[in-house]
Chain A
Amino acid sequence: MAINAALTSLTWKGTAVPAVGSASISISRAALDITPIGTPTQQYIAGVSGATATLDLFFDEGDAPHWTMLTDINTATAAGSLVITLQSGTTVTGNAFVTSYEITAQAQSVVRANVQFQYTTDASSTATPVQIA
C-alpha cells in the first residue's frame, strides 16, 4: 500500500516546521575493502553507518523553525532532534547538525530554502544515527 507523502508532522528541536516542500533522508553504510593482495576476488566488511537529511522549505523568516535552522548553522553547539512522522505512523528520529542552508529566489517563484542535516550520535553511543520505528 502506498503512503501519502503529506507528513503527520516534522519537527526540529521539538517545534513543528511549517511549509516543507519535500523531505528526504539518506542512510548509508560504507563497505570497507579488505581484499588481500593476490586474492582473486574482492572482500568487504561492513563499515559504520551514517545518515543525512535534506529539507526543501518555502522560506519565511516569520516561521520560527526556519529561522532557528538558519542561526543553528553558525551557533548550535549540540545536535538537535529532527523527527519526521509519516501518515502511516512510522517515525524517523535522530539528532543532527545543520550543515547547509541555501536560500534561492528566482523569477516566477517564491523564495525557497534547501537545508541539509548531518545526523550524529554520542561518541559513547552504540545506537544508529537514525531510529525508525
Chain B
Amino acid sequence: MLTSYAGITNAIPAARISHGYRLQDGILPAITYELTNVVQQSISGGAKLWLASVEITIIAATTKAALDVLPALKIACGAGQYNLAEFEAVIWNGHTTSAAVVGEGDEQEPAEVTASIDIYYRD
C-alpha cells in the first residue's frame, strides 16, 4: 500500500520503508510500520472479515519535514488491491507528532509523526 503510491515513493524511496525498525544512521526521511493487532470481525461462513490495526511512523530530521509527508500518507492509506490482499476499507484514526530531540551523539532523535490506521480485509 505504501509503496504503491508515487506520492510516497517520490518523497521516500521504497528501500527506506521498512517493517518495524530502521538503522539508526539511515537516511531520512524514512517510514516504518508495525502491525499491532489483527482481529477477526465476522462470524459468517466463507471468507472472514479481518481488522488489522497498523501504526505507520514517518521519521524525518524536523517536524515539518515529517508533516510534509503526511498528506501523501493519507492518500496512500486507501482501499484497494495490494499484492494478494484486498483492503476493503482503510480507516484513518489520527496521528501524533513528536519533535526532534537535540543532543550529542546517541542523544539525538529525529522527529516522528505516527499515524494509526485500521485495515478491513477478507481472507
- Partner-B contacts on A (CB < 8 A): 5-10, 16-23, 58, 60, 85, 108-110
Contact = CB atoms under 8 A, between A and B. Distances in A.
Contacts of B44: 7, 9-10, 16-20, 23
Interface residues of B, number: 17
15 contacts: A6-B40, A9-B46, A10-B45, A16-B46, A17-B44, A18-B44, A19-B44, A20-B42, A23-B44, A58-B49, A58-B120, A60-B88, A85-B45, A108-B93, A108-B118
Contacts, number: 53
B97 interface: no
Given A58-B120, A108-B91, A110-B89, A21 B42 contact: yes
Nearest to A109: B91
**Interface centre among B41, B44, B89, B120, by most A CB within 10 Å?**
B44
B47 interface: yes
Per CB-CB distance, the 10 closest pairs between chain A and chain B, nearest first, are A20-B44, A9-B45, A110-B89, A10-B44, A19-B49, A19-B42, A6-B43, A7-B43, A108-B93, A5-B43
